[in-house]
Structure 1
Amino acid sequence: MEEIVQSLVRVLMRGTEYQTFCKCPQCELDIIALSLNTLPTHYVTTEKGRKAVFERMNTLENLEWINKRIIHSIHVVGKYPHR
């Protein structure tokens, strides 16, 4: 889940919709942390387990669901930046 969220946050923050939001490393990490706190955890101990979870979570439906949580986190961090 962490890998997916990190990738999506980086892509979203460089998009045109979020030009006015801070893109500093601290805000990016805050967005990632807040997003991960709202998503279910998927602990794995092997590469095979990591791939299985990644494939299960990397569907269009799940990515849309994850994106909604990330977008919410972007707005929260934008409104209450950690400075």
Structure 2
Amino acid sequence: MEEIVESLVTYLLLSPDFQLFCKCEKCKMDIIAYSLNNLPHHYVTTDKGREHVFEQLNTDENRKWINKRIISAIYLVGNYPKHLDEH
């Protein structure tokens, strides 16, 4: 799940739809973390298990479902970026 979310976040942040949102490393990692916390966990210990879970998750329906959670995270982090607290 982590690999899927990380690649989708990277891809979505390149979209013109999100051009107004911060794309710094802190915000990107916050988006990934928030997304992963709101998606089911899939732990595996072998490459075969990893491939099985990836195939299971890599459907149009599941990608749409995962994208919705990532987009929610982008808006949440974009509206309340933590990096502003560090300055």
Where do 1:40-59 residues align within 5 Å? 40-59=40-59
Which amino acid in structure 2 is aligned with residue 24 of structure 1? Answer: C
Instruction: Count the aligned residue pairs.
Output: 83
The percent identity for this pair of structures is 61
Give the aligned residue type for 1:71.
I
Q: Structure 2 length as normaliser, TM-score?
A: 0.94
Which protein has the larger Cα radius of gyration, Structure 1 or Structure 2? 2
Moved over 6 A (4+): none
How far is 1:70 from its partner? 0.2
Q: Which residue of 1 aligns with 2:35?
A: 35
Root mean square deviation, CA, Å? 0.4
Question: TM-score when scaled to structure 1?
Answer: 0.99
Indicate whether 1:12 and 2:20 are aligned. no
Unaligned runs of 5+ in 1: none
